[in-house]
Structure 1
Amino acid sequence: MGQFRLLSFSTNLYNLKSDAFYLDWDECKQLMQNMKSWREVNELLILSIPERTEIIYYSEVDLEDKIFDALSDCKKIGLPLKSEFQQTSDEEKLLVYLSELCFGVQASNYGTTPLFPSFIQAYELASQNEMVGEYLGQWWENLISTNKLIKKHVDYQLPNFSITYTVSDLVTDLSKKLKTPKIAIMGFNSLSKRIFKNLTCKGFKNITIVDKSIAPFSSLSKAELNNFIFEPISEVENVIKDNDILISTLEDAQQSLQLSYFQKDFNTMKILIDLSIKSNLTSILNKISQVIPFNLTDIYKIIEQKMEINKKWMRKAKPIISEKNLEFFQWIDTKKSQEMVTVANELLGESIHNNQYSKVLISEEPYSNLEIDDNRINTLLLKKSIAKIKSNTQYKDIINYNKMVNDFYQYN
């Protein structure tokens, strides 16, 4: 009997290799096409953003190794250790995890990335490839109805408070106060790459990116490659002069961004967002009237304000999500019980010791149309059916099946 299984990978914010498992849209389609051809996979959904990759599939067997190999083929680069890619086969645990991720209440990803739009895109890809069956389809309907309930009972949307999204939102707000602002990102690592992707999604174009080498840009998609202007670190002074909003993730910011670069008679106000952990550049720039500096402390203050709003949202949203999850678990238990009844009927009709027994089991009212007087054969029949069910089902389903069979014999 099949079950949901999940392969999951989430990143570390400052790990430069942390998005090694990230699949762009073409890679998602390639992996989908590959896994679609596997007979072991009945249903499949692939979600991938820079912060995490989630692969949920419905199958009778564990395919962790096979999927990891397929991922390697898609990426064509060295991946992190397979041990960093977590597998979960506990259906209730993984479905709770995914639904909480979807609506932003999962503890490990609390308030960091709004995933519902990403889930929609992932579901559409699965549907286009005919990898949505009854189980995945019903789970998706549950997510849609959960989203409608949250919108109905919660009068404000969940604010996102990751560093990358907070910076992107800040840039969006600041750009409204400037006429056609020019944006530059100084330093291209995992953090700035996500900021660049977020800004691109928000519609910002021709973003200048400063780095020591153009090599890190090879992982960008074709659309993203056409949306930035590369400048070497030696041109940083001119970049500061030509752009209005400056985002720095340079760890050596005080060395690369010299004070003299900002002590100019600029035509426009300069806004610097310094995300370097050890930098105190903004405290120095506070003395320059034409520069408005922000640092990580300022970003965290914005995040704290959002978190206070989010606590109120959580108190209303999380019980709704839990209640809707419970509804789906009840549906899946009922569905699997019906499937086990079908399997039991087939098993109870098998020939044992050259005798054919037509003992029939139905879900509403179990009955038999033939008396079995031989207790030994009756026991063999029961053991054989239970053994077959145990080989392909979860623990809780074994309990359900044992109870079902016991009830059957009690009434017969």
Structure 2
Amino acid sequence: MTQNFKALVLTYKTAPVAVREQVSLAEPAVKQLLNFIRDYTTTSDVLVVSTCNRTEIYYVSEKDFSNEIFKGLALVKNIETGFEQHFSSISGLQAVNHLFEVAIGLDAQVIGDLQISGQVKNAYQWSADENMAGPFLHRLMHTIFFVNKRVVQETSFRDGAASISYAAKELADDLTTSVREPKVLVVGVGEIGQDVCLNLVNTKFQHVTILNRTLDKAEKLAQKCGFKSGSIEQLQEEIRKADVVISSVSGNEPLITREILKGISFLSHKFFIDLSMPRSIEASIEEIPGAIVYNLDDIQEKTNEAVEKRKASIPRIQAIIRDTIGEFEDWSKEMVVSPTIQKLKNTLEKIRQEELARFLKNSKPEEAEKLEEMSRSMMQKILKYPVLQLKAACKRGDAESLTEMLHELFNLERTAEKK
């Protein structure tokens, strides 16, 4: 089954931020796309991972459904075609390995970014919600989660602080080296916004204000961090005061626009860091003298001790992934013969029940118990060797001939039909 696992992949490596925001999918849109794929293709085990740095669609099928999936994506996002050229298509073990690397953080823009693990888990939950997660995807995802635990326990990959939000803090630090008591405005308290605020705690940034559409959330986070808070209606005034504005607000249209900045005098540089996807800060703001905008593509990985430790762990993590994928591949191959094994079990159980019924007619209760135990034990021993041989044949890649032989010997198709 692994050979039929396919992935359509668009990432920060293959597409600029303008394209990524075009195809970025929030939860409702992901579920719409999942339903489209279910209704217009014959694929199974579908996973849609969409973050600020990637949009990826995984599915299991012998047939290539790229065109149908792209049509669905264009329909859900109400966009013109042309984005397809930024997607690459991979399949088989390459697709499996890629999903491992994405979920663990090896393929993240900031290596080891913890947020991606949670985002992949959410994507898996959404697939399950829409009944698009089959046995293959369930097994694959839980295998990935297990590897994530091994990575934490056996390597230094999760040590230190390195993420998009941490990189944003580092960038703000660099931008304000010459500013005495810099003022920071954080807009939005989603997962990334919360992480930004937590990373600003106990730093040189003592004047931080948090704004959010839901005031209660901003107040709770501000109280936790020791910062100020306010409602989104104060946006223009707080931008006026701030040296650095960090935005991670979700929405289809920019929140911070040139219109909002009208009337604000820029006595010195004002820095805008946009962590949203789609972008929440209008790019044309940079046309205003003194305004400088940084988006996700501008946030470069900081060379620090935490990142270097993570890089040093990569060979060990890749070895863990290779070993685990080998075991997963064995399981995947065995899935092909599992229906035959089940049919064989059913056939032998039917024979056992028929013979047991014949001998139990005149037997005593204690004899019946012993016959039941003895016949069940004998059946399991008889079954053991064909099953072991089938699994061994799977690893050799020649299970088909043995499967056909068992069907002939035990008349499995007819048994299944009668049952």
Question: Which of the five TM-score ranges fits, normalised by the shorter chain?
Answer: 0.5 to 0.7
Alignment check: 8 A CA contact 1:47 1:53 kept: yes
Superposed CA deviations along residues 45-104 of structure 1, whole A, max 9, x for unmatched, are 1110121111111234221111111011011112434233222232x1100111011112
SS of the counterpart of 1:17? Answer: helix
- Determine whether 1:144 maps to 2:145: yes
Q: CA deviation at 1:135?
A: 0.9
Structural mapping, 1:270-281, within 5 Å: none
Alignment check: 8 A CA contact 2:40 2:68 kept: no
SS of the counterpart of 1:70? Answer: helix
Q: Name the residue aligned to 1:400.
A: 398
Q: Name the residue aligned to 2:96.
A: 95
- Determine whether 1:323 maps to 2:323: yes
Q: CA deviation at 1:157?
A: 0.9
Structural mapping, 1:169-318, within 5 Å: 169-170=169-170, 181-183=183-185, 198-199=192-193, 202=196, 204-205=210-211, 206=232, 221-222=250-251, 228-232=255-259, 235=262, 238=265, 247=273, 256-257=288-289, 302-303=302-303, 305-318=305-318
State the one-letter code of the partner of 1:82: E
Root mean square deviation of aligned Cα? 5.0
Q: Name the residue aligned to 2:26.
A: 24
Alignment check: 8 A CA contact 1:337 1:400 kept: no
Q: How many residues align?
A: 309
State the one-letter code of the partner of 1:230: T
| Residue 338 to residue 41, structure 1, CA distance change in 2 (3 Å) | same
SS of the counterpart of 2:79? Answer: coil
Q: CA deviation at 1:338?
A: 3.0
Q: CA deviation at 1:140?
A: 1.3
Structural mapping, 1:85-164, within 5 Å: 85-90=87-92, 92-106=93-107, 111=111, 113-114=113-114, 115-155=116-156, 157=158, 164=164
| Residue 236 to residue 121, structure 1, CA distance change in 2 (3 Å) | farther
Uncovered stretches (5+) of structure 2, i.e. residues with no partner: 198-209, 212-231, 240-248, 275-280, 345-382, 388-393, 411-419
Structural mapping, 1:336-375, within 5 Å: 336-339=336-339, 364-365=385-386
| Residue 150 to residue 305, structure 1, CA distance change in 2 (3 Å) | closer
CA separation in 1, counterparts of 2:110 and 2:401? 40
Superposed CA deviations along residues 130-173 of structure 1, whole A, max 9, x for unmatched, are 222211111111012111112222255166767x5454233788
| Residue 15 to residue 338, structure 1, CA distance change in 2 (3 Å) | same
SS of the counterpart of 1:105? Answer: coil
Alignment check: 8 A CA contact 1:45 1:55 kept: yes
Superposed CA deviations along residues 159-212 of structure 1, whole A, max 9, x for unmatched, are 6767x545423378899xx99944289xxxxxxx9xx994477465356699xx
CA separation in 2, counterparts of 1:251 and 1:34? 33
Alignment check: 8 A CA contact 1:43 1:136 kept: yes
Question: Which structure is higher in helix share?
Answer: 2
| Residue 66 to residue 306, structure 1, CA distance change in 2 (3 Å) | same
Q: Name the residue aligned to 1:82.
A: 84
State the one-letter code of the partner of 2:318: K
SS of the counterpart of 2:21? Answer: coil
SS of the counterpart of 2:158? Answer: coil
| Residue 405 to residue 17, structure 1, CA distance change in 2 (3 Å) | closer
State the one-letter code of the partner of 1:46: V
CA separation in 1, counterparts of 2:28 and 2:161? 27
CA separation in 2, counterparts of 1:81 and 1:13? 9
State the one-letter code of the partner of 1:48: S
- Determine whether 1:46 maps to 2:75: no
- Determine whether 1:33 maps to 2:60: no
Structural mapping, 1:51-70, within 5 Å: 51-70=53-72
Alignment check: 8 A CA contact 1:40 1:60 kept: no
CA separation in 2, counterparts of 1:336 and 1:319? 27
CA separation in 1, counterparts of 2:51 and 2:285? 28
Q: Name the residue aligned to 2:390.
A: none
SS of the counterpart of 2:18? Answer: coil
State the one-letter code of the partner of 2:56: E
CA separation in 2, counterparts of 1:343 and 1:314? 44
CA separation in 2, counterparts of 1:15 and 1:407? 56
CA separation in 2, counterparts of 1:257 and 1:54? 38
TM normalised by structure 1 equals: 0.58
Alignment check: 8 A CA contact 2:31 2:126 kept: yes
